[in-house]
Structure 1
Amino acid sequence: MQIDARGKAVKHKSQARFRDHDGHLRPVSAYGTSKTAAERALLKKLQDRAKTGQHAGELTAMHKMNVLIDLFEAKFKEWVKDGKRSPSSLDNYQGAIKNHIRPALGELRIGEATTPRIDTVVAHIKQRAGAARAKTCRSILSGMMKLAVRYGAITVNPVREIETIEAQPKNPPRALTSDEVTLLRRSLAADGRAVEADLPDLTTFMLCTGVRIGEALAVHWHQVDLEAGTAEITHTIVRVKGQGLLRKGTKSRAGERLLHLPNWALAVLRARHAAGIRARHATGIRLDGPVFPDTHGGYRDPSNTRRALRTALSPVGSTARRDLGLTLRALRRETGLTRKQVADHLNWPQTRVELIETGRITVDHQLVQTLVATYGIDLDHRHALRTQVHDATQPAESDKLAWIRSHALRKTTATALDQAGHTARQIADQLGQARVSITQDIYLGRQSANPAAAQALERVFDEPEMP
């Protein structure tokens, strides 16, 4: 007990001896502003110590969550090394841990990470970063707390009881029509930048197989049998932080598959093979090299390829749109501004300015007026520029392609097979998916009507009598 100058107690100490989980007696003390407060603090300390002792192991309920997070990351790296988890999953999880989980929970003790607390954290993540990110964080936290149970820090995984997150897709499954496929292939073939990025042949291969973009980029020439008309899918390309591009096994065992190719796809591959042999003095064909290499004959980055595809699918809609873009670029350069400076001033992504200046985005009067105001120009007083804007806002056929992303090619393949009468299991095998439900819910476009249903019901019931 501490006493002040007037002889009054300012701090009380309560002490006891506690038999720890290892059998040794150790002194435990606590302080309070009164004798009762000190005794209560000591009792709480003893209860926490007893709770910790019941679950003795490498972790205890008194350890901070940061310790558990570090352990989970170390374990996950071991799983990646053993081939049980994907390196891309590790990168994704580490980003979620760094940006969301560690700041919110890292300084808590493991025993304090209760179901209500974790539920609140995940709800905030959903509000800030969206349902998909919150779902990832929930999965990570479940794995962490499962590890805590296994190591004896807690007895029940508190994440099991938190609210399930339903991440609805932004867009419903949509497949390209036959006309859209024709328009897509024609548009890519006529786009110089798309041809330079080797997108026409890659897109054809993805449409005729349904493979993921990383799987297409991982196919080697020795895996293509031009005589039998088959392609073997065994690997995918991923970028791993600190290691660069890696060719790793497919996402699951279901991803390893032998696919038969339609004749129009074989024609594309035969042409590539013949062109590669003729160009042997350059990169040439290597049996252990990729069918769709980068400019140096190595592996292509899937992210860069997706970006190139997105750019190509925001095509130059018309000559008028292209000419307007060139005019806007000239006006920006006259002011001495860079695209980044303009984007920062308008709070736009930098790519938006680029797409406008290359004629690859639909524009309207208000959009251009906002942009040129940055250059000190009043659009209403520039008759020639107004005329260009009017001409550029007219619709173009290629605008129909702007919605397409790389996964739409897989959906198109799946839906085409569905319409041809293939079962969901057969389609899942084609796409390399272990769960048929994923194929049905995400990759198959819903049929608007089923005329055969009425005929089938008529045959079964044959005008049932009314009571």
Structure 2
Amino acid sequence: MHKIDHLLDLWEKRFEGLVADGKRSPTSLDTYRRSLKNHVRPALGELRIGEASTPHIDTVLSMIKDRAGAPTAKTCRAIISGAMKLAVRYGAITVNPVREVDTIEAPPKNPPRALTGEEVTLLRQSLSADERAVEADLPDLTTFMLGTGVRIGEALAVLWHQVDLEAGTVQVTHTIARLKGEGLIRKSTKSKAGERLLHLPNWAIAMLRTRHATGILLEAPVFADTIGGYRDPSNTRRALRTALSPVGNTARRVLGLSLRTLRRETDLTRKQVAETLNWPRTRIELIETGRTKVDHQTVATLVATYGIRLDNHHPLLAQVHDATQPAESDKLTWVRSHALRKTTATALDQAGHTARQIADQLGQAKVSITQDIYLGRRIANPAAAQALEQAFDQPDIL
């Protein structure tokens, strides 16, 4: 007859104990707490444990999936299932009602995609030419990630004493994470497989030597923030996304500045314009900063709120024409930090390394994850036809 809220308290306390013992990650606890607060407790907290039937939980999870997405629904299912296992263990119920709940299926993920050699060159050139990217230390960070295949949190956790420039190696033992109420912490990697010694390519060693020559402290991060402390992985990902947005097109920046000036002349805020057009506020910001593609209709709709007819405003019309032309930087808009990791894995795969060797490089315990998620194969096996020809010498064709 106890409420499920009480059971969830017990489950959360038990998980906290596992975190304290080093058997679970504190970031996992943070994720579960968010799901508990936002989804599980509001939906089930006031129910009695005995009232938590399979149909009821199935309905709740379906609603969470529709509202928050399949990944969140899977997290909530794991929480509820763990709590109900605890109830079975304590004798409150005899069967875990989550066991027969329908499987939560997400849309198929996009196949792994790695950068080509030309795209890697374009990436490094684009970042080096972007002042904001250079200020955010992105050129060197992406070079290090491409040369090691490490996660972005792992790259930010590397200290100088873990780098051996003479041997050309780096020790990866920790990652950076942000915990609610604690801020940034440097914690051990997700699993023992994450602790590894990696050999660096010469171009990555050269980059580290240049950074090392500027003067460093052995206990300082290799990629530190402006005051020498740890960098936030989320902020770094955001900086990378911003740098890889189509800002390389000067015409888009010019158009964005013109649109911002027109908005300010009408004394409208971005929020007011977004509410008028029923657009996300961030869309106005992206347009005015030149970090998104635009077309004639989008600009015409926007300036109409300023009392301007685009077709009658010839200077602005010319800017729109220039801004809609393709830009070289558009080729990189799909790139995220994990694409660098996939690029490293795919390069090793094409060089003939085994899946186990690549998994060890990436710090993954399961080879299947490496094969399914990180190897972006693009080249068919030309030797397959020859092998089949030798195996089946002129078989009968029916």
TM-score when scaled to structure 1? 0.82
Q: Which residue of 1 aligns with 2:296?
A: 365
Report the alpha carbon displacement of residue 221 of structure 1 after superposing the two structures with TM: 0.4
Q: What residue in structure 2 maps to residue 294 of structure 1?
A: 225
C-alpha offsets along residues 116-169 of structure 1, whole Å, 9 cap, x if unaligned? 211111111111111111111111111111111122211222212212222245
Distance change >3 Å, CA 239–CA 416, structure 1 → 2: same
Kindly indicate whether the alpha-carbon contact (under 8 Å) linking 1:324 and 1:392 is maintained by their aligned counterparts in 2: yes
Q: Tell me whether 1:200 sits opposite 2:151 in the alignment.
A: no
Q: Find the partner of 1:311 among 210, 234, 242.
A: 242
- Kindly state the Cα deviation for residue 187 of structure 1 after the two structures are TM-superposed: 0.2
Deviation digits for residues 407-449 of structure 1 (CA, Å, limit 9, x no counterpart): 1111111111111111111111111111111111111113452
User: Is residue 153–residue 233 contact of structure 2 (8 Å, CA) maintained in 1?
Assistant: yes
The yes-or-no answer on 1:119 pairing with 2:19 is no
- 1:146 pairs with 72, 85, 99, which one? 85
Q: Cα distance, 1:102 vs. partner?
A: 1.0
Map 1:180-199; keep pairs closer than 5 Å.
Answer: 180-199=119-138
Q: Which amino acid aligns with 2:48?
A: R
Shift of 1:464: 4.3
When residues 82 and 376 of structure 1 are mapped into structure 2, their CA distance, relative to the original with a 3 A threshold, is farther
TM superposition shift of 1:320: 1.4
Check if 1:101 corresponds to 2:32.
no
The structural deviation recorded for 1:225 is: 0.6
Task: Give the equivalent residue in structure 2 for 1:209.
Answer: 148
Cα distance in 1, alignment partners of residues 70 and 27 from structure 2 = 20
Deviation at 1:358, TM superposition (A): 2.0
Q: How does 1:225-374 map to 2 (within 5 A)?
A: 225-275=164-214, 277=215, 285-374=216-305
Aligned partner letter, 1:303: S
Q: Structure 1 stretches of 5 or more lacking a match? A: 1-61, 278-284
How far apart, CA to CA, are the structure 1 residues paired with 2:157 and 2:274? 36
Answer with 291-300 or 168-177: which moved more.
168-177
Shift of 1:395: 0.4
Pick which of 434-443 and 234-243 moved more: 434-443
The aligned runs of 1:58-69 (5 Å cut-off) are 62-69=1-8
Gaps of 5+ in 2: none
User: Are 2:356 and 1:389 aligned?
Assistant: no
Aligned to 2:357: 426
Instruction: Note if contact 2:246-2:293 (Cα within 8 Å) is conserved in structure 1.
Output: no
SS, match of residue 316 in structure 1: helix
Alpha-carbon shift at residue 170 of structure 1 (Å): 4.4
Q: Which moved more, 1:447-456 or 1:249-258?
A: 447-456
Letter in 2 for 1:254: A
Greater mean deviation of Cα atoms: 291-300 or 146-155 = 146-155
Residue 110 of structure 2 is aligned to residue 171 of structure 1: yes
Distance 1:345 1:228 in 2: 61
More contact order relative to length (CA 8 Å, sep ≥ 6)? 2
Take 1:240 and 1:441, find their aligned partners in 2: how far apart are those partners? 30
Kindly indicate whether the alpha-carbon contact (under 8 Å) linking 1:135 and 1:167 is maintained by their aligned counterparts in 2.
no
Task: Report which stretch shifted further, 157-166 or 225-234.
Answer: 157-166
Distance 1:349 1:80 in 2: 39
Q: How far does residue 465 in structure 1 lie from its aligned partner after superposition?
A: 6.0
Please give the root-mean-square deviation of Cα atoms over the aligned residues, in Å.
1.6
Structure 1: which amino acid aligns with 2:381? Answer: N
User: Letter of the aligned partner of 2:101 in structure 1?
Assistant: I
Q: Displacement of 1:333 after TM fit?
A: 2.1
Distance in 2, Cα, partners of 1:312 & 1:139 = 36
The 2-side partners of 1:96 and 1:346 are apart by: 32
Task: For residue 355 of structure 1, report the CA deviation from its aligned partner.
Answer: 2.2
Q: Aligned letter for 2:60? A: V
Shift of 1:86: 1.4
Show the counterpart of 1:437: 368
Identical residues among aligned pairs (%): 78
Q: Secondary structure at the match of 2:247?
A: coil
3-state SS of paired residue (1:158)? coil
Any residues of structure 2 matched to 1:66-105 within 5 Å, and which? 66-105=5-44
Output one character per residue of 1:270-328: Cα deviation in whole Å (capped at 9) or x when no partner. Answer: 111112x1xxxxxxx11111000000000000110011000001032322111111111
Q: Which amino acid in the other structure matches residue 224 of structure 1? A: V
Amino acid at match of 1:225: D
**Matches of 2:264 and 2:47, distance apart in 1:** 53
Partner of 1:455: 386
One-letter amino acid matched to 1:375: Y
2:341 is matched with which residue?
410
Separation (CA, whole Å) in 2 of partners of 1:299 and 1:347: 39
Letter of the 1:290 partner, please give it.
Answer: P
Alignment partners' CA distance in 2, 1:466 and 1:407: 46
Is the 8 Å Cα contact of residues 364 and 389 (structure 1) preserved in structure 2? yes
Structure 2 CA distance for aligned equivalents of residues 432 and 385 of structure 1: 52
Matched residues, number: 398
Residue 163 of structure 1 aligns to a residue whose secondary structure is coil
How far residue 213 of structure 1 moved from its aligned partner, in angstroms, is: 0.6
Q: Secondary structure at the match of 2:246?
A: coil
Correspondence for 1:130 among 42, 57, 69:
69
- The CA distance in 2 between the partners of 1:130 and 1:270, in whole Å, is 45
Q: Secondary structure of the residue that 1:248 maps to in structure 2?
A: strand
CA distance in 1, matches of 2:269, 2:109: 33
The letter of the residue matching 1:361 is: T
CA distance in 1, matches of 2:358, 2:280: 38
| Partner-residue secondary structure (3-state), 1:403 | coil
After superposition, give the CA deviation of every residue in 1:351-394 in whole Å (9 maximum; x if it has no partner): 33232222221111122122223333222221111111111100
* Cα separation, 1, equivalents of 2:349 and 2:265: 55
Q: In the superposition, relative to structure 1, how do residues 169 and 412 fare at CA in structure 2: closer, same or farther (>3 Å)?
A: farther
C-alpha separation between the residues in 2 aligned to 1:190 and 1:466? 59
Is 1:157 the counterpart of 2:157? The answer is no
